[in-house]
Structure 1
Amino acid sequence: MTGCCPPADAAPPAGAPGDEEVRLASHAISPTLLQTHLSVPSAHCGACIAAIEKALLALPGVSAARLNLSTRRVAVQWRRDGPVPPFFKALRDAGYEATLFSFQEKEEDPEFTRLLRATAVAGFAAMNIMLLSVSVWSGADAGTRHAFHMISALLALPAIGYSGRIFFRSAWSALRRGRTNMDVPISIGILATLGLSLHDTLRNEPHAYFDAVVSLTFFLLIGRTLDHMMRRRARTAIVGLARIMPRGATVLSPSGERSYRELRDIAPGETVIVAAGERIPLDGIVQEGTAELDAAIVTGEAEPVAARPGEAVSAGMLNLSGALTIRVTHKAEDSFLAEMVRMMEAAEGSRSRYRRIADRAAGLYAPVIHTLAFAAFASWMAATGDWHRSLTVAVSVLIITCPCALGLAVPMVQVVAARRLFEQGIALKEGSALERLAQVDTVVFDKTGTLTRGELRLAGHTATGRDLAAAVALAARSHHPAARAIASLKGAPQPLAARNVVEHAGLGIEGEVYGIRYRLGRPSWALGGGSAPGGKTMSALSRQGAPAGMFAFADAPRADAKAAVDHLRSRNVSMEILSGDGEQAVTAVAQQVGITDFTSALLPADKVRRLEELRRLGRKALMVGDGLNDAPALAAAHVSMAPGTAAEVGRNAADLVFLNGALGAVPKALGIAHRAARLIRQNLGLAIVYNVLVVPLALAGQVTPLLAAVAMSLSSILVVANALRMPADGADWRTPSGSTPKLAEAMS
């Protein structure tokens, strides 16, 4: 029931943004590509997706374009070393207005206002014409009947002219550019029924269909308005996130002057002041002040966290106490909160295999259904010779077969599933990951920072004197949990200055302290072939290649790790641990959480090889990992998850990010994915069954245009309502004994 395409007479924007403004509004997604978000409020359906993406992809320098219908935003990727492509001219030539999207733009909805007014006018006219029709049906004489038909025509013409323009403008805009869309057959049906009614009224025939054509318009508009409302309701998570972001911040200049500026005008390196009760506007580092922060929006944790000088803070955190001076590290478009919004919208807008199939089916609608309607008209003419009856049947076929339900079947479930995941503290980066998640039969866990809290405590060490000071100096330059434990060692000598520091993923860190080369990290690497005594979780320190000390650590499993593992086991999901830590440490954690398959002392490449081995065995593995060394494995897995506290490269490599750090997010995500798969199958089944049942009835002449409009509207509403049945946490996930449901298998 989605409409399509903007009005043919839509005025172009008052002025397209300049090239410099477009560049400033874009953010880098790779060393060679920028991504720009454009707002296209007149986009409505699958035909709009094809037209908009085709127009943008034809521009030189554009490498990708993807439209999200729920938010009516298109993300365009283009080469940063070339000129700014003429986005706005290309879209205007294709019939669409566009503007640069801003996360701070107002949440106005003029489209909803237009739909509501059009629906009200059509409803008012339909009620009054129906009253006149009842009088005609009750046995009015020929003169009274003709008068009532004329009055109905006077009511119907302006009502159809005002309310029907929602469809007419869209249809005309598509036709004048050589395209068709869902509104073309709807407009033909409305105009043909109106023309038949006017013809019969002028000839003083006993029947006219003004009640049917106005009621048809009314029901179509009701369905479209409800669809618009449900889409808006389904994406409230995104709206809520965007509204949290402040519109501006108080900037402190080097001279001490304060000024309030919009976020988009604040550059990295500038200093902002955040008073108690305000949200942190941009990612940054605390320079001065201490305060407690409500970080629930970022980490999901309810307990306040302390903010002190030198600590990183993220946009969206709420300052509960004390003023903070913060040095900005990322511009507004690159903040953590903006990243979460983009991931949510990418999840809604991306197209899985199911969605691509549904889009192709909906795209075939116009030529197929026009052919079917023409065949119905020709067949009835050949059989009866009654052009009036034949045209009525053809109009009914055009209306009742609109594939709106098919077009909504998959994206509505995807939108609602993304919202449900976010309510559970899980951000989905693309919709296809939801489909892959429903296929999972094996979960692979990293240990440190994933199954365990990642807050390693130093259990003992053998380094002394200057060697210990060198270890602290190197550790202070790394974010690895083991390095943080060493850096926070109490009673350590005064840290020395470390130079030429290089961190090696999965191995350790090395650098020069007073001209002496030190290595701190995995014993086999730091000691050049040595090993950790007893296989404990240990780090070794070497001085010029010679042993200089050992550091032993202790870590405890997350509080909910065993419960999450038990939940997965009850669903017949296989599990294993792939860790770079020593055998003894991995064995201890595996026994505590109840996982029997585990491998220790693995390098990042070893984890990738194991995941590839699982793929060759036909297994669909979910990798859950944290940290720089897990990024290759996260990218290699069938689907992957990382906590929001993971290293940025890990978050970028993962398909899903769980913000609260609780492992309960894993079974919850799997439950929602399986529920989404079931709802998609139900919606596709409903759409197919609807067409199988109603098309023969329409071809047999058993459906009037009014009944066709009611049936088509109800089918779309039913599909959307079914999508909204998604439970909040996927709690009704059911797995048959001895098997794991797979989306691909269920469809075959």
Structure 2
Amino acid sequence: MYCGTCMVSIEDALAKVPGVTRARVNLTTKRVSVTYDPSRTSTERLIETLDGIGFPAAELIESSAAEADARDRDFLKRLGVAGFAAANVMLLSVSVWAGVAGDMTESVRSMFHWLSALIALPAIAYSGQPFFRSALQALRGRRLNMDVPISLGVVLAATMSVLQTTRGSDQVYFDAAITLLFFLLIGRYLDQSMRTRAAGAAANLLGLKATTATVLDDDGTTQRLSARSLKAGDRILVAAGERFAADGVVEDGTSEVEESLITGESVPRRISRGATIYAGTLNGAGAVIVRTTAADQSTLLAEIARLMDAAEQGRGRYVRLADRAARLYAPAVHILSAATFAGWMVLGHGWEAALTAAIAVLIITCPCALALAVPAVQVAATSRLMRQGVIVKTADGLERLADADTIVFDKTGTLSLGEPELIDTETIPPDALSRAAALAANSRHPYSRALVRAATARGFDVVAADGVREVPGLGLECSGAGKPVSATLAGHVPERLGAPSFVGRATTTADDDTSILGYRRPDGEVVTFRFADTLRPDAREIVSTLKDAGYAVHLLSGDRASAVAAAADKAGIDDFASEIGPAGKLRRIEELTRTGAKVLMIGDGLNDAPALAAGHASMSPANAADISQTAADTIFQGQKLRPIVETLSVARASQRMALQNFAIALGYNLVFVPLAMLGHVTPLVAAIAMSASSIAVTGNAIRLKSKRLELRR
């Protein structure tokens, strides 16, 4: 399976099977996903259907890395043999060409031709097997793919050359046949390598997960078990330098975790008790004990792989266009070749000249470049974004992102981190901060976690206080030493941490973009803590970059006016609206759309689902908790907004490169097909030109993986 024609043939054949409601082929992973009614058909029947059209199939079993390496080695062997043969046959051909103009005798020329045949024919038989097998499978299934004209052209060129050699002719085309195979193998190897790496960007993530884990039993003993046998609730010991085998929460120990494969962030994250970790990330500094929350196929890593696979099964509009063009073009190749042969015969040029021109047309009109034009770009783009921590969930997501001209941000959790931070810590009495953090140590409230983080950053060893109880909706209360809350020590009152009214402070709300929490000491004194949901560190820089690139930037938030105004001012956004709920955001996006704007909505994948769906395109900053539920087309991770610029840059560049590849493929055909039909292109030149066009579109796409991109108007 190598081209759009193959994909369409498979999907059409499966769609005709009773009970099948959906069939979608993933060319990159060589897989087909079928949705069907088990009461009306079966897996066996689906496999028989695929076998019947020339595509032997089997139920999915994950292939090992060793098998993939064996396939690559086999392909490289065929490429090496073709290259060796092409070089030697070309040397002989150059000698013959030079001899024609000199005094080479007929016997010497004939010997050179037979030597060329001796080198080329075994090489063609061996190196051409991938094309020949694919063509035979297609013909058995009564269909055409792009390997049919390739195989036909190679076989005809080789056969005609043998006949010409036996007759002592001056012209043979062994060089064309073997050179065609050599360049085609180069192009296909580049394409397959890129697809393998792209598929590996998701699938190989699973390979980074530890295969075994050290499990701690209740009695303190340890045992080494397979990662597949882990389940939620297990306690595992992860040493420094090991990868985590499952998602979980740190119960004991401190370390640093390198999680670039999940978030795209290269800087290690400091972890301690209560921190969340993910399968596949690398434990860097010290041993930690982790309580697993998800294992095997339930981990974030497995979910990302599933999302990537689902996106690859889709079709963007350019991919659909290329597939249709390749499908229609395949029979046109044979029609043009037959018409060329008939035309030359009618004009009385003889069968040799007619067949030579027909072979050249057959070779030069192969739709390889057209079939590779868009998929190659799509694979390169998604692979690049995956390395940046960006997951493309929909096949046409990048195409719609490239069209966007207006960007709408949500505030909390999108423009901001969504995690309150304690501010003005230098003015807080150290003993008050330490004691308040002790009260908050076991609480999961965002403000409590912020207090613990701040105390830890100040160097305090936070130990949970005894006798703490939570008062729902108000805060935490502690009597100390495990005494009843109602009891008081001489001259002391119970400690409280919570809302200003709960601790006895008159002010209940902040008058700016901050929030207030109070801590009442045992002596009754109240210490105020101020929290701010800080903007992402590069928010202002990214907004400025987007505006410079010509995007209109808006901010919509359900937060209070003062907080939204402050956030908009810090980020440099002039157009903002506050206290606007999900329905209001939806209406605002619909209004922008009616004015002709193509809106990119960037918001919380859970709370902003209606607005995300209404936008022309959508992105979400997502952590592991909601990555599978988010409604966005594209997901980025990490604490920075830089992935937005990277994604938009890649989207625009991929659109340009897709159009460039279309231009290369179509321009090549418009120039060379008429020349070939008129007899001005030999089979050798046709082979080089066709292979060059395929390599050109693949090479152009590969540039996207490392090209420096800037977001401009």
What TM-score range do you get, normalising by the shorter chain?
Answer: 0.7 to 0.9
Is 1:388–2:352 an aligned residue pair?
yes
For residue 492 of structure 1, report the CA deviation from its aligned partner.
12
Aligned to 1:26: none
Is 1:434–2:398 an aligned residue pair?
yes
Greater Rg over alpha carbons, structure: 2
Aligned to 1:170: 134
CA displacement 1:433-473 (0-9 Å, x = unmatched): 1011111111111112222232225799xxxxxxxx9xx99
- C-alpha change, 1:561 and 1:209, in structure 2 (3 Å) is closer
Aligned mate of 1:495, from 469, 488, 491: 469
Q: Secondary structure at the match of 2:419?
A: coil
User: Matches of residues 347-496 of structure 1 in structure 2 within 5 Å?
Assistant: 347-457=311-421, 481=446, 494-496=468-470
Q: Secondary structure at the match of 1:456?
A: strand
CA displacement 1:388-420 (0-9 Å, x = unmatched): 111111111010011111111111111222232
- C-alpha change, 1:132 and 1:444, in structure 2 (3 Å) is closer
CA distance in 1, matches of 2:243, 2:282: 4
Is 1:733–2:711 an aligned residue pair?
yes
- C-alpha change, 1:83 and 1:599, in structure 2 (3 Å) is farther
Q: Secondary structure at the match of 2:703?
A: coil
Q: Secondary structure at the match of 1:250?
A: strand
Aligned mate of 1:295, from 259, 272, 292: 259
Asked whether the equivalents of residues 104 and 247 of structure 1 are also in contact (C-alpha less than 8 Å), the reply is: no
Aligned to 1:579: 557
Aligned to 2:4: 46
- C-alpha change, 1:556 and 1:679, in structure 2 (3 Å) is same
For residue 647 of structure 1, report the CA deviation from its aligned partner.
4.6
Is 1:70–2:28 an aligned residue pair?
yes
For residue 374 of structure 1, report the CA deviation from its aligned partner.
0.9
Q: Secondary structure at the match of 1:181?
A: coil
Q: Secondary structure at the match of 1:205?
A: coil
- C-alpha change, 1:180 and 1:580, in structure 2 (3 Å) is same
CA displacement 1:481-509 (0-9 Å, x = unmatched): 5686699999998234979xxxxxxxxxx
* AA of the residue aligned to 2:562: Q
CA displacement 1:357-395 (0-9 Å, x = unmatched): 011101112211111111111111111251111111111
Aligned to 1:209: 173
Aligned to 1:281: 245
Aligned to 1:705: 683
Aligned to 1:115: 75
CA displacement 1:613-640 (0-9 Å, x = unmatched): 2222222111222364223323332222
Asked whether the equivalents of residues 415 and 536 of structure 2 are also in contact (C-alpha less than 8 Å), the reply is: yes
Aligned to 2:608: 630
For residue 298 of structure 1, report the CA deviation from its aligned partner.
3.0
Q: Secondary structure at the match of 1:602?
A: coil
Aligned to 1:612: 590
- C-alpha change, 1:634 and 1:646, in structure 2 (3 Å) is farther
| 148-157 vs 701-710, which moves further | 148-157
CA distance in 2, matches of 1:289, 1:82: 55
- C-alpha change, 1:424 and 1:300, in structure 2 (3 Å) is closer
Aligned to 2:651: 673
CA distance in 2, matches of 1:220, 1:298: 36
Q: Secondary structure at the match of 2:246?
A: coil
For residue 279 of structure 1, report the CA deviation from its aligned partner.
1.1
- C-alpha change, 1:496 and 1:127, in structure 2 (3 Å) is closer
| 192-201 vs 245-254, which moves further | 245-254
Aligned to 1:466: none
User: Matches of residues 140-289 of structure 1 in structure 2 within 5 Å?
Assistant: 140-232=104-196, 237-238=201-202, 241-253=205-217, 258-289=222-253
Asked whether the equivalents of residues 672 and 729 of structure 1 are also in contact (C-alpha less than 8 Å), the reply is: no
For residue 718 of structure 1, report the CA deviation from its aligned partner.
1.1
Asked whether the equivalents of residues 443 and 573 of structure 1 are also in contact (C-alpha less than 8 Å), the reply is: yes
In structure 1, the gaps of 5 or more residues are 1-42, 461-468, 500-520, 522-530, 541-549, 736-748
For residue 45 of structure 1, report the CA deviation from its aligned partner.
1.9
For residue 350 of structure 1, report the CA deviation from its aligned partner.
3.2
Aligned to 1:662: 640
| 449-458 vs 353-362, which moves further | 449-458
* AA of the residue aligned to 2:415: L
CA distance in 1, matches of 2:369, 2:333: 15
Asked whether the equivalents of residues 631 and 649 of structure 1 are also in contact (C-alpha less than 8 Å), the reply is: no
- C-alpha change, 1:233 and 1:484, in structure 2 (3 Å) is closer
Q: Normalised by the size of structure 2, how large is the TM-score?
A: 0.80
CA displacement 1:688-718 (0-9 Å, x = unmatched): 1111101110110111111111000111111
- C-alpha change, 1:486 and 1:425, in structure 2 (3 Å) is same
* AA of the residue aligned to 2:561: E
CA distance in 2, matches of 1:709, 1:434: 34
Q: Secondary structure at the match of 1:577?
A: strand
CA distance in 1, matches of 2:17, 2:452: 52
Asked whether the equivalents of residues 283 and 335 of structure 1 are also in contact (C-alpha less than 8 Å), the reply is: yes
- C-alpha change, 1:657 and 1:230, in structure 2 (3 Å) is closer
Asked whether the equivalents of residues 537 and 584 of structure 1 are also in contact (C-alpha less than 8 Å), the reply is: no
CA distance in 2, matches of 1:84, 1:323: 49
CA distance in 1, matches of 2:469, 2:41: 49
Aligned mate of 2:548, from 556, 566, 570: 570
Aligned to 2:505: none
CA distance in 1, matches of 2:178, 2:264: 51
- C-alpha change, 1:207 and 1:181, in structure 2 (3 Å) is same
For residue 106 of structure 1, report the CA deviation from its aligned partner.
4.5
CA distance in 1, matches of 2:420, 2:90: 76
* AA of the residue aligned to 1:397: V
* AA of the residue aligned to 1:278: E
- C-alpha change, 1:487 and 1:604, in structure 2 (3 Å) is farther
* AA of the residue aligned to 1:662: K
- C-alpha change, 1:488 and 1:261, in structure 2 (3 Å) is closer
| 233-242 vs 668-677, which moves further | 233-242
Asked whether the equivalents of residues 631 and 650 of structure 1 are also in contact (C-alpha less than 8 Å), the reply is: no
Aligned mate of 2:622, from 632, 644, 647: 644
CA distance in 2, matches of 1:582, 1:553: 15
Q: Secondary structure at the match of 2:236?
A: strand
- C-alpha change, 1:220 and 1:297, in structure 2 (3 Å) is closer
CA displacement 1:515-558 (0-9 Å, x = unmatched): xxxxxx9xxxxxxxxx9786967699xxxxxxxxx998532322
Q: Secondary structure at the match of 2:331?
A: helix
Aligned to 1:593: 571
Q: Secondary structure at the match of 1:208?
A: coil
Aligned to 1:336: 300
In structure 2, the gaps of 5 or more residues are 425-435, 456-464, 474-497, 499-507, 518-527
Asked whether the equivalents of residues 627 and 647 of structure 1 are also in contact (C-alpha less than 8 Å), the reply is: no
- C-alpha change, 1:553 and 1:375, in structure 2 (3 Å) is same
Asked whether the equivalents of residues 330 and 367 of structure 2 are also in contact (C-alpha less than 8 Å), the reply is: no
Q: Normalised by the size of structure 1, how large is the TM-score?
A: 0.77
CA displacement 1:293-321 (0-9 Å, x = unmatched): 33343344455444444443211222234
CA distance in 2, matches of 1:88, 1:247: 32
Aligned residues: 643
* AA of the residue aligned to 1:70: T
Aligned to 1:313: 277
Using the aligned pairs only, state the percent identity.
46
CA distance in 2, matches of 1:730, 1:704: 40
For residue 181 of structure 1, report the CA deviation from its aligned partner.
0.7
